[in-house]
Each structure stands twice: as structure tokens, then as C-alpha cells.
């Protein structure tokens, strides 16, 4: 029999329907073809992209080739930086200028390596670049929230095969983040504890959904996973803000992230996936809000969410907000634990 | 510049980013291959499916070939009919048996014809079958909500190329439906009007997003469309319950639905799509609820929502609940109005 499961933070039910059972081999992917001709993200092709916003490089000026990680504006941005961020009415609706930022983080100059293939030092550079861009974009008071995400593989929405992440800064708090922050705030208001800290403690004590535990981080498959092999990577100690991490924290995080990505690559043969960094919004947007809004450092817990793109979202999911997941998170965690990395 | 738009019923913002502009030819599909060997939904292969639940046929007994529309249980159901529908706690989470129904409505015995190719009389039969299944499943008090949906084309999640719809009855009100019904109820509580009636009046008076107006129905592209060529089909007069439609209503609806599907097929060359019927839940689940819950006949407005599957849902959408739509609903409506049907 299938089971319905409730996520107390996301506020969703999911249908775990293992009778439709899917084991890793049902999902394994053929490697996607990559075309090497004139990739604008490759070393030496810096003049084929818009001017860089930020880069980590040992020497040389902006847009020169000696970079390790490079940030450029998206050539086809969903949002643009000019304009006023105010809503206005239109009949029964509201509208607003598409103000924001849309950046591309090129994770490596090497076309042939994905994020999972980078060394811990290289991954640390990528994470330090994320942090730098968060800290910079927070200076713009119009930008309410920053969404750092990665689409890996064409089936997960990647436009180019060269490995990159994206950062979109939006003038409104996105609904998924708003719900999550409200739940965290309400829970803290009642219990003076972080709900994520409770969930992490419970998961570590249960063990069935723990993929890998490090000194400071833990990777789990969520109890109410919407998709097969969904993953979350949490700092074990309460930390609300990814951008406040120190350099040693980033090295440990790079180890945990590499472990997670390598396990996934091993078990499902490099599946397409999306990951999203969930972190607290800029400080200036916490003022003048209800009582506990000013205390995200107490009630919010940053983390990374990863969804492999193995099954299709169809009419039922779109029409209901319910998801049907054919692989139990306990099975997924067991396969991932056994991966040789 | 792109624009953010707010949907006052769905409670979502969407980014209309037409600079990434997509016109119909960018989306046009190659026809998908269909394999004719041993399709279990074809005329004469009735013994290759589970025993039928319901059928429209001129003569002959159950599971005989003389049918026009046929309903069978899904062979790989997401939910099963046996068991108790009660939630229980598990640490910080909740869980529940996967109780429900999962049916397949085979829309035609003819393998080669899709829903858009059926005659108005045949489409009326399909709609009458939907109605019959709604009315029957409402007798089970464990089933809170019925989701009638169709996945057309493999890229939209269809498992077989023979044309069929599905009905899932769930033991909980799905979040998308719960939000929509709450908005309708709250609006009615304040204004004593249906919010959808307001939106329909506004759209008809504006015209830019109207695709086709019939005597009793109207097809529009929603102002805050999340996807290119998204469509909604509304009864113009306030009606809360699809299953309460009379036979003449169904004929008119079949005309409007055929028109919508044919326009889509013409403009985008038979794209994959999902549609979902949004209607009021069974009567017994409206009792003992807040003041206006008992008055869905006043505050809810049934309709059909259709989403062509032309673009990929990726990390940003999953992580935020924001959607980026590269085609404005005004452009989509203009193309669909000009279609020769």
C-alpha cells in the first residue's frame, strides 16, 4: 500500500507509492553529449560572454583567462537591474516591473568536468563565489531574496553542457521561501526552538534516511520526498545564513557537497538534477515585520535541497500540488549510503 | 523589460519575460510515434485491462467490445481503495494510508484519434463519463476530493499513446484546491461575489486574453500564466459544480473544449499538454467548516485549466514557486484566436 506523508516545513503531503517501485537501475541515464565547439564558458573564450561581474583568479585583469571561477550576467536575463520595484494594480490583478539580477557562475574553466568532479579546493572556490555574490547583492535594497540554483543536465534545464550555477535576485520573497520562513518563525514563536534543528536531531537518531554524516554536516533524504532520490544537506549546528560562513566552514561544506554529488553520480550514473540553496534573506527585509521576523538568526536554518530529474511532473502534480513518488526515501538513502565514493 | 504578475486566486507571482521571446514556431512539435501492437485500450483488447468500472455502450455486457467510453482501474494505482483514511503522528511528521481511487477513462476505442479529433457527440460522451464517475465516487465519505486530469503526449507524462484521462480521488484536499477554495471563500465573505465571476467579467471586457467566447463558455489565457499558451475554460454563468451540469450543458461544453483543443493543436502542432478539471469537492466535506465553507455553490466556480508542456521546469521554479514565462498571454491569445479551426 502506498503512504501519504506530511512535510511540516514545506506544508505539503506527498504520496509515496512504492508499488510503482523504482530502483536505481530504472532511472540510470545515458551520458549526454557535449559539444566542444566555441563554448563561451571555456578557458580562452572570455570575450564571448558579457563582461564579468566577479571572478577568482591568481593574476591578470578582468576578462583575462587566468580564472578559477567566473561570474557573468545572464545573456537572456529573466529580470533586469534597472527600474523601480513597486507593485501596481490592474483591474483585479497586480503587476510590477521585472527588477532584479540574473547572474551565471561558471564553476570551472574546464569544459569536461562537472561539479561532482571538482576537487574539494575547487568546490570551496565555487562556494566562496556564491558567498561573495550574496554579500554584494544584499547591498541593493530593492532585492528581497537571492535564489542560488543549479540545473545539471539538459533534462534538468541546463542550457549549456559546461558546468555552471545561476543566481537570481528577486524583488519579492518567493512563495516557497515565504512559507518556509513563516513556518520556522511560527514554530520558534511557540517553542523557542528551530524546527529544522528538531528535524535534523530526529533524522540522525532514526538513521534510516541519513545518507552521510560529517562532523558539521549531514545529508538526508527527506521523509516526505516529492521525488525519487531527493536530498537535503544541512549544517548540524544551527546557522541561519549561508553567507555568514567562514572559510573553514566552506571547506567542510565542500567536502559534504562533493560527497553528496558523487554518491548521486555513482548510484544513478550522472542523473540530471536541480539544487537550490535555501538561506535567510537580506537583513534590511527583516525589519518592521511581525515580532519574530527580526530573529531569523534563531528560527531559520540554511540548507541545500537537491532534486534529481528522474520522473516527469504531469497533470496530477500541477493540478493538485500533490506529488507521487515511486521510490521511498528510506530505499534511496540505503542505495546512496552503499555508493562507493 | 520583463514584468511580474500576480494571480489573485492562485496567490502566485509569475515573471513574464518576453525578451527571452518565444513564438509558436519555437515550440512546434514533431508528431510522436505511436505503436499499434497490442494496445490494451484498443477496441477488441478489453481482456488486456483490469475489469471495467463503467462504460458507455449501445449493447453487450461489461468488458465486451461495443463501447464508446470505458473506465478501468489504473493497473499501477497511486492510491488504493481499501483501508482507513486517518492521519497519525511519527516524530515531527504525519503519515496516512494511501487510500483513494485511481481510474483510467479511455476516451475512444480508436487508437488513432486524440481528444481534439473526437466529434462533439463523442466528446460529450467523455464529459458525461467524467460526470458519472464524480457522482459515484462522491458516495465514499473517505474521499475528500476528485482530481480529473489528462496527460497528452509522452512529454506531458502519458504512459500510452491511446487517448485517455485519469481520475484520482484523494483522502485530503490537495493544496492547490485548498488555496483556491479559501481565496474564493474569503472573497465571497467580504464582497458577496464570486472572485472568478469578477475575473471573467474583466477578461471579457478587456478582450486581449480572450481566445474564444461562446454563448455559455469562454476560453482565456490567464493574466499571470506560468507557462506559454496556458489556457482556462470557464462557464460564463456562475456554476460551482461540474458534476451538476445537465446534458445540454455538456454538449455546449464539448463544443468549447473541442474548439480549445483544436486551436492548440493547430497553432503548436499537437503539443504535449496537461489539463485539470477544477470543481467543488463532495458535499459532505463542506459541513462543520467555517461560516462560508457551506456555500461553495456561491463562492466556487468550476473550470478547466490547460498547460501545454513546452518549457522545462527547472531549479528556479522548484526552489521558489516563481515561474518564468517567455510568452505573454496576450501574444498567446492572439495566435490562438487566429487559428483556423
On chain A, the residues whose CB falls within 8 A of the CB of B77 are 2, 17, 19
On chain B, the residues whose CB falls within 8 A of the CB of A20 are 76, 78
Note whether residue A132 is domain-resident. Answer: yes
Residue-level pLDDT at B212: 98
C-alpha grid cell, residue B64: 465486451
pLDDT band at A109 (very low <50, low <70, confident <90, very high): very high
Task: Calculate the average pLDDT of chain B.
Answer: 87
For A148, nearest residue in chain B (alpha carbons): B316
pLDDT band at B274 (very low <50, low <70, confident <90, very high): very high
Residue-level pLDDT at A27: 62
Q: How far is B158 from chain A (nearest CA, A)?
A: 8
The percent of residues in chain B predicted with pLDDT above 70, rounded, is 88
Note whether residue B88 is domain-resident. Answer: no
For B79, nearest residue in chain A (alpha carbons): A2
pLDDT band at A340 (very low <50, low <70, confident <90, very high): confident
pLDDT band at A83 (very low <50, low <70, confident <90, very high): confident
CATH number for the domain harbouring residue A109: 3.30.428.10
> Highest mean pLDDT range out of A95-109, A274-288, A314-328, B9-23?
A95-109
Q: Do B11 and A315 touch (CB under 8 A)?
A: no
Largest CA distance in chain B: 62
Q: How far is A150 from chain B (nearest CA, A)?
A: 6
pLDDT band at A244 (very low <50, low <70, confident <90, very high): very high
Nearest Cβ partner for A318 among B11, B96, B307: B307
Pairing of strands A93-97, A145-152: unpaired
Q: How far is A254 from chain B (nearest CA, A)?
A: 20
Q: Do A93 and B19 touch (CB under 8 A)?
A: no
Domain count, chain A: 1
Residue-level pLDDT at A73: 95
> Highest mean pLDDT range out of A3-12, A128-137, A151-160, B169-178?
A128-137
Q: Are B136 and B54 in contact (CB under 8 A)?
A: yes
On chain A, the residues whose CB falls within 8 A of the CB of B274 are 314-315, 318-319
Quick check: A114 pLDDT over 90? yes
Please compute the mean of the pLDDT values over residues B238-265 and round it to a whole number: 96
For A4, nearest residue in chain B (alpha carbons): B96
Residue-level pLDDT at B290: 41
Give the tens place of pLDDT for each residue, A180-219.
888 888 888 888 889 999 999 999 999 999 999 999 999 9
Range from A19-28, A199-208, A303-312, B51-60 carrying the lowest mean pLDDT: A19-28
Q: How far is A330 from chain B (nearest CA, A)?
A: 15
The residue ranking higher by pLDDT, A253 or A296, is A253
Q: Are B323 and B15 in contact (CB under 8 A)?
A: yes
For B4, nearest residue in chain A (alpha carbons): A96
Residue (of A230, A232, A235) closest to A194 by Cα position: A235
Give the tens place of pLDDT for each residue, B287-316.
444 444 446 677 899 999 999 998 888 888
Note whether residue A115 is domain-resident. Answer: yes
Residue-level pLDDT at B294: 47
Quick check: A314 pLDDT over 90? no
C-alpha grid cell, residue A150: 543549479
Distance CA B120, CA B247 (A): 13
Please compute the mean of the pLDDT values over residues A16-32 and round it to a whole number: 60
Residue (of A220, A226, A233) closest to A311 by Cα position: A226
The residue ranking higher by pLDDT, A14 or A332, is A332
Distance CA A7, CA B94 (A): 8
Residue-level pLDDT at A76: 83
Residue-level pLDDT at A288: 41
- Residues near B253 by beta carbon (within 8 Å), at least 6 away in sequence: B127, B216, B217, B235, B245
Please compute the mean of the pLDDT values over residues B101-130 and round it to a whole number: 97
On chain A, the residues whose CB falls within 8 A of the CB of B275 are 315
In the β-sheet with A54-57, what is the strand arrangement from edge to edge? A54-57, A67-73, A101-106, A164-170, A145-152, A273-278, A303-308, A231-235, A217-220, A210-213
On chain A, the residues whose CB falls within 8 A of the CB of B17 are 77-79, 98
Which DSSP symbol is given to A154? G
**Got the DSSP string for A250-264?**
HHHHHHHHHHHHHHH
Distance CA B338, CA A242 (A): 51
The residue among A1, A4, A146, A271 with the most chain B CBs within 10 A of its CB, best to mutate, is A4
Nearest Cβ partner for A92 among B92, B198, B316: B198
Note whether residue A319 is domain-resident. Answer: yes
Distance CA A240, CA A293 (A): 13
The residue among B11, B146, B304, B320 with the most chain A CBs within 10 A of its CB, best to mutate, is B320
Residue (of A65, A66, A62) closest to A53 by Cα position: A62
C-alpha grid cell, residue B284: 459532505
Please compute the mean of the pLDDT values over residues A240-260 and round it to a whole number: 97
Note whether residue B86 is domain-resident. Answer: no
The residue ranking higher by pLDDT, A337 or A178, is A337
Note whether residue A274 is domain-resident. Answer: yes
Range from A174-183, A197-206, B196-205 carrying the lowest mean pLDDT: A174-183
Residue-level pLDDT at B326: 86
Note whether residue B35 is domain-resident. Answer: no
Note whether residue B84 is domain-resident. Answer: no
pLDDT band at A61 (very low <50, low <70, confident <90, very high): confident
Range from A162-166, A271-275, A293-297 carrying the lowest mean pLDDT: A293-297
Residue-level pLDDT at A79: 86
Q: Going along chain A, which residue ranges are E strands?
A: 3-7, 12-16, 54-57, 67-73, 87-90, 93-97, 101-106, 145-152, 164-170, 210-213, 217-220, 231-235, 273-278, 303-308, 323-325
Q: Are B285 and B143 in contact (CB under 8 A)?
A: no
Considering the entire predicted model, what is its pTM? 0.90
Residue-level pLDDT at B157: 87
Quick check: A252 pLDDT over 50? yes
Give the tens place of pLDDT for each residue, B9-37.
766 677 776 665 566 666 655 555 555 57
Please compute the mean of the pLDDT values over residues A291-307 and round it to a whole number: 76
Residue-level pLDDT at A335: 93
- Domain holding A128, by residue range, is 60-79+88-338
Quick check: A40 pLDDT over 90? yes
Residue-level pLDDT at A271: 92
Please compute the mean of the pLDDT values over residues A48-75 and round it to a whole number: 91
Residue-level pLDDT at B36: 53
Amino acid at each position: 500500500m502506498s503512504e501519504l506523508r506530511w512535510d511540516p516545513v514545506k506544508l505539503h503531503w506527498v504520496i509515496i507509492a512504492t508499488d510503482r517501485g523504482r530502483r536505481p537501475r530504472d532511472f540510470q541515464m545515458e551520458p549526454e553529449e557535449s559539444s566542444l565547439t566555441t563554448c563561451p564558458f571555456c578557458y580562452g573564450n572570455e570575450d564571448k560572454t558579457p563582461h564579468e561581474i566577479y571572478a577568482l583568479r591568481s593574476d591578470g585583469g578582468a576578462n583575462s583567462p587566468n580564472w578559477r571561477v567566473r561570474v557573468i550576467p545572464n545573456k537572456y536575463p529573466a529580470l533586469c537591474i534597472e527600474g523601480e520595484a513597486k507593485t501596481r494594480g490592474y483591474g483585479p490583478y497586480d503587476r510590477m516591473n521585472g527588477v532584479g539580477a540574473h547572474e551565471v557562475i561558471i564553476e570551472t574553466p574546464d569544459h569536461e568536468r562537472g561539479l561532482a568532479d571538482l576537487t574539494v579546493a575547487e568546490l570551496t572556490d565555487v562556494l566562496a563565489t556564491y558567498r561573495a555574490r550574496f554579500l554584494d547583492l544584499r547591498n541593493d535594497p530593492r532585492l528581497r531574496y537571492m535564489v542560488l540554483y543549479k540545473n545539471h543536465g539538459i533534462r534538468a534545464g541546463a542550457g549549456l553542457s559546461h558546468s555552471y550555477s545561476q543566481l537570481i535576485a528577486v524583488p519579492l520573497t518567493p512563495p516557497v521561501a515565504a512559507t518556509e520562513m513563516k513556518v520556522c518563525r511560527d514554530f520558534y514563536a511557540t517553542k523557542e526552538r528551530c524546527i529544522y534543528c528538531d528535524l535534523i536531531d530526529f533524522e540522525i537518531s532514526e538513521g534510516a534516511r541519513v545518507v552521510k554524516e560529517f562532523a558539521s554536516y549531514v545529508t538526508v533524504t527527506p521523509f516526505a520526498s516529492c521525488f525519487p532520490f531527493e536530498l537535503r544537506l544541512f549544517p548540524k549546528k544551527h546557522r541561519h545564513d549561508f553567507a555568514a560562513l567562514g572559510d573553514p566552514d566552506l571547506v567542510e561544506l565542500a567536502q559534504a557537497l562533493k560527497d553528496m554529488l558523487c554518491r548521486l553520480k555513482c548510484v544513478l550514473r550522472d542523473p540530471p538534477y536541480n539544487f537550490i540553496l535555501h538561506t535567510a534573506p537580506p537583513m534590511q527585509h527583516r525589519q518592521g515585520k511581525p515580532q519574530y521576523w527580526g530573529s531569523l538568526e534563531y528560527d531559520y536554518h540554511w540548507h541545500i535541497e537537491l532534486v534529481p530529474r528522474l520522473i516527469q511532473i504531469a497533470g496530477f502534480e500541477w493540478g493538485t500540488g500533490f506529488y507521487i513518488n515511486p521510490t521511498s526515501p528510506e530505499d534511496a538513502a540505503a542505495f546512496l549510503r552503499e555508493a562507493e565514493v
